[in-house]
Every structure is written in C-alpha cells, then in structure tokens.
Structure 1
Amino acid sequence: MRGKLHTAARKHRAHKGSLSRNRNGLIQRNTIAKGSKTSRKIIGSRKRTDRGTVGNQQFQHGYERGYTSGVNQGVESFAEPFHGTSIIIPTYNQADYLIQCITSIEAHTTDPYEIIVVDNGSSDHTGQYLQQRVGQIRFKQLETNRGFAGGVNQGLMMAKGDSIVILNNDTLVTPRWLSNMLRCLYSDSTIGVVGPVTNYISGEQQIQVPYDAVPQMWAFAEQHNVPDESRWSKADRLVGYCLLFRRELLKSTGYFDEGFEIGNYEDEDWMIRVRLSGRELVIAGDTFIHHYGSVSMKNLGQQKFEVVHEQNGTFYEQKWGNPHKWVQQVKALGAVRSDSGTSSSCQAVDFYPTGVIIRDQSGRKYWLQGGRKFLCSEDIEENRTAVLVSMLDINSIPEGPVVDWLSARAELANSTSDALKEGQLFSCGDGNIYQWQQGTRRPFVSKEAVSRWMLEGSEIQQIAQEKLYAAPEGLPIIAPPVLLNPIL
C-alpha cells in the first residue's frame, strides 16, 4: 500500500510539473501544456499578484458597501440624540488655548461625550488644527465672527447629547469634572443649569486657590474634586465659562440672544430666561476647573472691550429693566400653579404675547394666539412684519388648523371680556404696558419687548388703576431673542 501511495504522488508531481527557482530567485513551476511537448513556466509571484488583484477588488467593493451603509445609517440617525454629553466650545483666534482645552477633556473625561468646536472665523492655525482632528471632533468653521452667542447657538443646533456643556476655550477641565457635575444635575428635576467653581471669574463661583501656575493646579484639582453634595449651592447667577444642562432645557428656554455683540451679558440674559422657566441654578462646589480668564475678550484691547461691554450692558437693561423683579413674580405665580396641581415649569411660548404673527427662517408665517400657532393660508401685507422666531421655538408651540389670518385677527378683535378685548394693550399710567389675555393682565417687561414684538404702533387703552389691579396677573411678556444665524 505504501508503494502505491508513493507511485501516485510521483504521478501527481509529474502531471503538475516540478518546482524550481528562476534567476531572480522567484519560485516557478515547470509544466507541460496539454496537447504539447513544449514546457511552460508559470511564475509563482505572478499568480500571487493575480490573486492579490482580485482580493483588492473584493476588499474595495466591501469597503464601498460598508461605507455607503454607514453613511445611510448616519443620515437616518442624525437627529437622534445619544446617551452622553455634547461639549460645545466656541473659539476665535486662540488655537493654543483651544488645543490645551481639548487635550484636558480627552485626558480627564470618563463619561460618554462628543466635542463640538465652533470657529468664529479665526485667522490663526485653529482651522489647520481642526482639519487634523477630522473624525475625532465635530466642528463648524464660520466665515465671520458671530460672537459668543452666535458660536454657542451654532453648537447647540449641532449637539446630539442628552446633556450639553458650554465651555470656554480658555479652560482646563480636571479629574471627575463632568461626572461630578452630572451627578449634581440629575439629583433633582428642578435643577436647570450646573456650573463649577474656578480660580478666575466674577461672582460666587470664584474660590481661593493655592497654586501660582498650571503645573501645580492638577494636584489641587485632584484633591478638590471629591464628590460631595454638601458643597452644592443654589445661585441667582452662573457665568457662561462652563455650563451643564439637560437637552430638554434648550427646548424650553431657546437659543442665546445674538443681539449681544462679541461677548458679555448673553449668559446673564439666558440665565434669567432659565429662572423664568422655573428651573434652579446650582454651583457644584465639588467641581473645580481652571480658567485662564476672558482671553478672547482681552484680545480686543481695553478700549474696544469697554465699548462692547457698555453696549451689551445697555442692550441688557433695555431688554429687561429689572429682571430679578420678573423672576420673583413668576416664582409667585408658579407657587399658585403648583398648588392647583399643574406644573410650575414654563416653556418659551408661555412668555409670548397673543395676536401676533411669527415666522421662521424660511418665511413661513403663523398667527400666534393663546399659546397656539396657526399656519397662515395667504400672504400677509408688507406693512405688517412678522417676528422672526427660531425653528426650535416654533416646533415647541402646539399647532392649530390652517387659518385665514385676517379672519383670525377679526375674531380676536371682536372677543371681549369685561369690556377689554382679547389681545388689547392697555395701561393705567404706572409706566407699564399690559396685554389682556384670557382674563389676565400680562405685563411687558420693557418697551423693548413691545417693540421687538412689532406692537409699538398698536393702540394702548387707558384704564383705571383699581380695575387693572383687580384682574389676576398673568405671566410677563419678554422680548424674543435676536437671531442672526440664517439656519436657526
């Protein structure tokens, strides 16, 4: 049997040909072509090349199919939030600080996160750095500087996380920074925004630190950032260098007001709106991050910085008057609503007037009445300008049927309640302007609010002070945020 096997093997080798090496050292097989006595040499390396070509083609085909499938899945899931935190960093011409900030995030963040950088038209090497990080961080490069509010809004529109952090580019985050703040945020449903403490900021969030230079800071932060809820405290104000909040808060509060140029006061404005919604601001005293301090604003130069600061301060005052007065009034009204068994939290639309026309960026117009929007069925005359409202806010307003806005306005004008028409503006000489809505008097927080809603030319009815104060008070009417970004 063994002899037969050897004979069969010899016959097989004879049929297939013998192996040898050519002068280039490549393995070759010598075979006899079928039907011919002429030998034919097949170079082993060539066979491998043929197989490699086929393999490469198969790999490329599989890669393309996988890539296409991945793109399609990405498009389908684009609007779906992920269970993590979106960290938004607006930046302008401070690439080295930005790189340090991102490096610290990647070194000291253990919870799921995504980084979103919004470049406000930087002229330094910020763009080059971002291009090097394609696929690792998400970013948007704007052609012009839209300021802090504009950069933040762009990032908010891009954010997909269940929670969101707004972070200055001149910060360094530290061990357990995000996990400590998340623990604080989700400890109570009434908490709207959480902020850490730091070495350089105005207000209650600044603490004394024992270090003089960044290398010494890390040991201090490691020791400081021990989870301890006894170091959490409520506040009337948080500064926008680092803010953490739930995604739902954005839907109820809306975007930052882009009427504040470059920087300063836009975070103060947003915090007032958060507090009006019934949410609390909390300082997480067990979380420390380092803040170099207003690097972008200082880069303006002292003279321009003072001009911007003064302009934004004036804009803030004209918009709000005394904002803390309105916060206290809304809190009092919230207590009444809580006693009646309804939710004490408010949405952005709750602070809109009634009987006005709003529009989105595409030009679609709605008649707003009683907290509902009604799509206008026909064009509105040119001299009645609609108020621009973000798609985020418009989508949060309950929708009624399509209406002929002229008929809706006439119906509103004909409705009466104790001789006051629904939507009527009135005053009693106390310096405030009110709107009558569903049996309540709703004060405009300022003349700027009246103007922003395109109501400054409306008739204002004068009534007796006793009659005014006899009516129950409703929620104040605030100015809608200025939106300069054409895609919000």
Structure 2
Amino acid sequence: MASAQASSRRLRRRRGNRSSARRQRSVAGLRRRSAIYKKARYEEGFADGYREGVQTGMQSYPIGFEGTSIIIPTYNQLDMLKQCISSIVENTDLPYEIIVVDNASTDGTKAYLEKLGGQVRYRVLASNQGFAGAINVGMMMAKGSTILLLNNDTLVTPQWLDNMLACLHSDDRIGMVGPVTNFISGDQQIKVPYANVREMYAFARQYNQQDPARWRRTDRLVGFCLLFRKELFHQVGYFDEGFEIGNFEDDDYNIRVRMLGKSLVVAEDTFIHHYGSVSMRALGDRQALVHERNQLYFMDKWLNPYDWIHRIRHIANGTDGSAAQVDMTGLFPSGIAVRGIGSSVYWIDNGTRRLVEGLPTIPVVRLSQVDLLRWPISDPIGSWEIEALWHETEGPEGQPRGGVRLPDGTTFIIEQGKARKIVSPAALLSWQLHEKPYRTLQPEELAELEEGFPIIPHPMLRQVL
C-alpha cells in the first residue's frame, strides 16, 4: 500500500514537472514572439521615422535662420581646429551654426568631425581646393542670414560676434566687417600685452566693450575673419578659385564688394586671437612661390583695381548727381552665351537671360548658379539668332555695335550706345570675348559714345557650384 502511494506521488510530481516545463516553454515562446514582434515594430517605426525625417530635412533645407553661419576651412591642423571650435562654443551666445570644410586632411580631422555628430555641419573634400575652394563650399552650405569666414588658427573671445554684428547692421552700406588681432598683415593688427592664452582671454574680456566710435572704414580687410550678410554673397558671388592655396583671394573679394558701392569696416572694439599663417608656413619653400603666383594672377586680373572702383562710383553717380544702383550683372557683359551647372545655354540680353533653342556654335561661358540666377529669365531665342548677334559689329546707319578696338589695342563692348571698357586681358579671356569680331575705331569716334560700366572678369571656379 505504501509502495502504491509513493508511486502515485512520483507520477503526480512527473506530471507536474512536465506541466511546469510546458508552461515555462510556453511563456518563453510568448516572450520570444513578443520580442520579435517588438523588434519588428521598432524597426518599422524607425524606418518610418527615418523616412519622415529625411522628407522633413529635404523640405526645410532651403529654409535659413536668423543667425550666423561660421565657416571654417581647414587642412591638417586638427589641434588648431579643436581649439577654434571650443572657443566658439564657449564665447558665442547668439544663434549660430558651425560649418567645417576639410581640404582632404590626413591627420584625423575627418574622424574628429564624425565624432562631433550634430554639433557641426561639415564637408570633407576629395582633394585640397585651397582656401577659396573650401570657403565656396561652406558658403553654398550656409543657412544663416549672416556669414562669417574664420581661419582655423584663431580663438574667438567674449562679445566677439555681438560687437561685429552690431557694426554690420548699423548701416546698410557696410559690406563686410573684420576685427582687430595680434598677428595679421595690414592695419588690423594691434599691440597686445599678454604672453599666453589665459592672459589673452582676460585682455579680450576688457577690450571687447561695444563702442561705435571705434568702428572705422578701410580699403582692405584680411580674410582671417570676415562677417557679411548672406545677401552680399548673392550679390558678389563666390571667391575666385584661381588663387591657389591661399593669399590674395580676400583682396580680390574686397575689390568686388567695393565695386558695388559697399564699404569695408574694421570693428576696433572686437579682438580675436590669431596664431597666424599656420597653414601657409606649413608650405615651407612653396610659400613664396604660391604668393608670387597669386600676386601675378591678381595683377593680371585687375591691373589697377582701385582706379576701377572710383571709376564705377563716378559713372554710378551720374552727371546729374543721381546715384544708380550697381549690381554684378551690370559689370558683366551682355551679348554672351552662358550656362550654369546644367546643360541649358542662355543668351544674356540687356539684363535678362534667354534660353537658347538649338545648339550654338559660339563660345559658351560656364558660371556658378549664384551668378547665373541674378539675371531674370526672359523669352527663348534661337541659336541662329545669337550667332548673328555675336558676330555683329555695326548697327543701324553704321553705328558701332558689339566689339570695338582702338588702334592701341584697347577693347570695348558697345551696348545700347554705351562704350564699356574691358578692364584687363584676363577679363577678355574670362568671357571668351577674344573670340568675337572687332571693329577698329578712332579715339575721337569712341569719345562720341557715352561711357558705360566697365566689364570685369567673373570668378574662376574649379568646382561645379
């Protein structure tokens, strides 16, 4: 009897154990299925959120913000870049974004930028495009209402951006603003009492007291730190990438800004620290060659740019004292074929662009989209029509039209009865105007025509922008 009872208890225990095991397996299965279901829902939700985020980003990308886009070009100066970004974060209270454009550094800059995540926007170029090339990419990316170009070998200081913005917005006629510093060419350098970075910040905190009486106009701002409105970028265009590596591209931009009647101002109430020409010194023996090459390019492009600045202002003011608005399209020629980033060709016709129907055989000049879109669109024109207009040198009753040349070789383009002098051989080649036919005029014949705005070169771009 006892044996039978024991067997019954063992049987009940085995059945209970099997039942418990089944329950445990069932619960484990439910948990696994629940985990799979949750994972699937998570992945589905993540994918939906990602797609929605991409769409939202695409829709909002063209939307700017009331703040400053701080553009930092960099090349193999990782430690300097880290210090520069840190100084911005610690000393800037106003709305801003940081855009770093890396010229194919090999010192770990790319990995550093990737680790920063959303703290900065950045672009790593496939090859070294120089200062101008990197700045151009940054300006294309900028979404702020103002743009600030900043060398990576700088440290910004308390109130730096507040003071510069106050100066810029004090007068619509101001084109660009720059600070003073401890190490730079030109008249933006001041004497400083500090011996190290810690002392520098103490000095800058006392120095950077906003004071409009310390704002002064100048003929030249150095590109280590430049502030301007985004609309100025659309008016002037990109930096000229014909200046290799660095040097003179800022001088070139100064000239173009001043030709539009805008002034350059040094905000002497704003000090930032500049280690000074770190990237250029890294060139070693090449530095002198780069400087000489860029200087020659600048001189060939402008010959005497300051004479042209004053001449443009004189023409703009007019004989009756009225001041005409000068924009870049007014300094570019009409009667030329151009294209932007696409394949469409446009004919520039008295302040408008007309889509060319057919395949033109005359030279076509490639421009940036910023330059191209300044001309409003007008009615299309046939390729055969622009061929005739390109070769035209005589209007009704034998009046000169198109290209004319004086006996000494000086070249002009006659547009709407006005003689527009081509400022340099580089300008002639820039627009491929050397391919046009020219009619020879005597100086006294030219003197009978009204003087128009000169024709300046467009900026050379090595990238498609």
In the superposition, the TM-score normalised over structure 1's length comes to: 0.85
Q: 8 Å contact 1:420–1:436 — kept in the other structure? A: no
Q: 8 Å contact 1:91–1:169 — kept in the other structure? A: yes
| 1:449 corresponds to 2:449 | no
278-287 or 327-336: which moved more? 327-336
Secondary structure (helix, strand or coil) at the match of 1:163 reads strand
Secondary structure (helix, strand or coil) at the match of 1:402 reads strand
Secondary structure (helix, strand or coil) at the match of 1:376 reads strand
Q: 8 Å contact 2:393–2:402 — kept in the other structure? A: no
Q: Which amino acid aligns with 2:116?
A: R
Q: Which residue of 1 aligns with 2:232?
A: 249
The count of residues paired between Structure 1 and Structure 2 equals 446
The one of 401, 406, 411 aligned to 1:433: 411
Q: 8 Å contact 2:157–2:271 — kept in the other structure? A: yes
Q: Which residue of 1 aligns with 2:4?
A: none
| 1:310 corresponds to 2:295 | no
After superposition, the Cα gap between the structure-2 partners of 1:186 and 1:357, relative to the gap in structure 1 and judged at 3 Å, is same
Secondary structure (helix, strand or coil) at the match of 1:401 reads strand
After superposition, the Cα gap between the structure-2 partners of 1:337 and 1:120, relative to the gap in structure 1 and judged at 3 Å, is farther
Q: Which residue of 2 aligns with 1:374?
A: 354
Q: Superposition RMSD on alpha carbons, in Å?
A: 2.5
Q: Which residue of 2 aligns with 1:478?
A: 456
Q: Which amino acid aligns with 2:383?
A: W
| 1:225 corresponds to 2:208 | yes
Q: 8 Å contact 1:433–1:443 — kept in the other structure? A: yes
| 1:298 corresponds to 2:281 | yes
After superposition, the Cα gap between the structure-2 partners of 1:390 and 1:174, relative to the gap in structure 1 and judged at 3 Å, is same
Alignment of 1:311-460 (within 5 A): 311-336=293-318, 339-340=321-322, 343-344=324-325, 346-381=326-361, 384-411=362-389, 413=392, 416=395, 419-427=398-406, 429=408, 432-460=410-438
Q: Which residue of 2 aligns with 1:29?
A: none
Alignment of 1:202-221 (within 5 A): 202-221=185-204
After superposition, the Cα gap between the structure-2 partners of 1:418 and 1:101, relative to the gap in structure 1 and judged at 3 Å, is farther
Q: Which amino acid aligns with 1:423?
A: G
Q: Which residue of 2 aligns with 1:466?
A: 444
What displacement does 1:58 show? 5.0
Q: 8 Å contact 2:164–2:179 — kept in the other structure? A: yes
Q: Which amino acid aligns with 1:422?
A: R
Secondary structure (helix, strand or coil) at the match of 1:205 reads coil
1:370-408 deviation line (CA, Å, top 9, x unaligned): 222111111122xx3311111111111122211113213
The one of 124, 137, 147 aligned to 1:164: 147
Name the % identity. Answer: 44
After superposition, the Cα gap between the structure-2 partners of 1:469 and 1:160, relative to the gap in structure 1 and judged at 3 Å, is same
Secondary structure (helix, strand or coil) at the match of 1:436 reads strand
What displacement does 1:229 show? 0.7
Secondary structure (helix, strand or coil) at the match of 1:134 reads helix
After superposition, the Cα gap between the structure-2 partners of 1:434 and 1:217, relative to the gap in structure 1 and judged at 3 Å, is same
Structure-1 separation of matches of 2:397 and 2:266: 47
Secondary structure (helix, strand or coil) at the match of 2:149 reads strand
After superposition, the Cα gap between the structure-2 partners of 1:90 and 1:254, relative to the gap in structure 1 and judged at 3 Å, is same
What displacement does 1:420 show? 3.3
Structure-2 separation of matches of 1:338 and 1:371: 23
Q: 8 Å contact 2:359–2:383 — kept in the other structure? A: no
1:208-241 deviation line (CA, Å, top 9, x unaligned): 1111222210001101111111110111111100
After superposition, the Cα gap between the structure-2 partners of 1:385 and 1:460, relative to the gap in structure 1 and judged at 3 Å, is closer
Q: Which residue of 2 aligns with 1:183?
A: 166
Structure-1 separation of matches of 2:69 and 2:301: 30
Secondary structure (helix, strand or coil) at the match of 1:133 reads helix
Q: 8 Å contact 2:402–2:438 — kept in the other structure? A: no
What displacement does 1:279 show? 0.9
Q: 8 Å contact 1:427–1:463 — kept in the other structure? A: yes
Q: Which residue of 1 aligns with 2:177?
A: 194
Q: Which amino acid aligns with 1:472?
A: E
After superposition, the Cα gap between the structure-2 partners of 1:411 and 1:298, relative to the gap in structure 1 and judged at 3 Å, is closer
362-371 or 419-428: which moved more? 419-428
What displacement does 1:466 show? 2.8
What displacement does 1:192 show? 0.8
1:251-301 deviation line (CA, Å, top 9, x unaligned): 110111111111101111111011111111111111111111111110000
Alignment of 1:99-110 (within 5 A): 99-110=82-93
Structure-2 separation of matches of 1:112 and 1:285: 23
After superposition, the Cα gap between the structure-2 partners of 1:155 and 1:112, relative to the gap in structure 1 and judged at 3 Å, is same
What displacement does 1:361 show? 3.0
Secondary structure (helix, strand or coil) at the match of 1:86 reads strand
Q: Which amino acid aligns with 2:276?
A: G
Unaligned runs of 5+ in 2: 1-15
Structure-2 separation of matches of 1:196 and 1:133: 28
1:17-56 deviation line (CA, Å, top 9, x unaligned): xxxxxxxxxxxxxxxx9xxxx8896799968888777666
Q: Which residue of 2 aligns with 1:26?
A: none
Structure-1 separation of matches of 2:127 and 2:255: 28
